[in-house]
């Protein structure tokens, strides 16, 4: 086959064109990846729905029917319903969902709940463990690390152990039977060191 010699300037121009096209195609993808990452790390937003954080149903939407009265908390992540991005980039976004008899709720928590369903930060305010245990007798959250206890009916007030603060709560709303966040956390999330913002903002 005849070898075609092209002037160097033509080859160079073609390579430059390819590079520009590559950058042109790659940039939107890179931009989208960066914005997805930002959305995954962002704290819960108004209108976010909730999905199971772990287990067989990981990633599935959580509805009111998944929450029985006085049953142990479910670990969830918020999800942007418009984009489907699950905000699991930071464990500080982990949320505990549970349902309590509305008659037992403090007035403030009743206004932040949907039919007794409440949402709290899952990160202990002592040294940041997951608040994974549930005392079915006292109906309290219990942290497995140093046994701090929190009363979910009363704003996750600390009722035992070394935790210095309640768990931050997340107000809820229901639109067309869909459970969603009605705002952001009402206080600092997790273990706080002076001068450090856990979300890095």
Chain residues binding ligand FES by CB under 6 A are: 124, 126-129, 143, 145-146, 148, 161-163
Residue 83 in tokens: 């984009």
Q: Helices marked H in the chain — which ranges? A: 8-41, 107-111
Cα 56–Cα 102–Cα 169 angle in degrees, nearest 5 = 65
Closest approach of ligand FES to the CB of residue 162, in Å:
6
Determine the Cα–Cα distance for residues 137 and 157; give it in Å rounded to an integer.
17
- Nearer residue to ligand FES within complex by CB, 112 or 126: 126
Closest approach of ligand FES to the CB of residue 131, in Å:
7
CA-closest candidate to residue 174, choices 63, 26, 51, 58? 63
- Nearer residue to ligand FES within complex by CB, 143 or 172: 143
- Nearer residue to ligand FES within complex by CB, 85 or 163: 163
Closest approach of ligand FES to the CB of residue 173, in Å:
29
Closest approach of ligand FES to the CB of residue 158, in Å:
10
- Nearer residue to ligand FES within complex by CB, 64 or 128: 128
Determine the Cα–Cα distance for residues 147 and 200; give it in Å rounded to an integer.
28
């Amino acid at each position: 086959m005849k070898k075609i010699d092209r002037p160097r300037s033509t080859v160079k121009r073609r390579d430059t064109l390819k590079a520009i096209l590559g950058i042109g195609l790659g940039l939107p993808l890179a931009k989208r990846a960066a914005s997805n990452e930002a959305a995954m790390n962002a704290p819960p937003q108004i209108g976010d729905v909730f999905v199971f954080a772990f287990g067989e149903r990981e990633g599935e939407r959580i509805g009111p029917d998944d929450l029985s009265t006085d049953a142990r908390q479910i670990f969830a992540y918020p999800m942007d319903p418009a984009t489907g991005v699950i905000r699991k980039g930071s464990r500080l976004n982990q949320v505990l969902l549970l349902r309590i008899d509305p008659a037992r709720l403090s007035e403030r928590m009743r206004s932040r709940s949907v039919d007794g369903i409440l949402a709290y930060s899952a990160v202990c305010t002592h040294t940041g463990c997951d608040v994974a245990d549930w005392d079915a007798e006292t109906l309290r959250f219990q942290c497995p690390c140093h046994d701090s206890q929190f009363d979910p009916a009363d704003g996750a007030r600390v009722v035992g152990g070394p935790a210095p603060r309640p768990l931050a709560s997340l107000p809820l709303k229901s639109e067309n039977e869909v459970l969603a966040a009605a705002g952001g956390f009402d206080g600092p999330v997790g273990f706080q060191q002076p001068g450090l913002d856990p979300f890095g903002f």
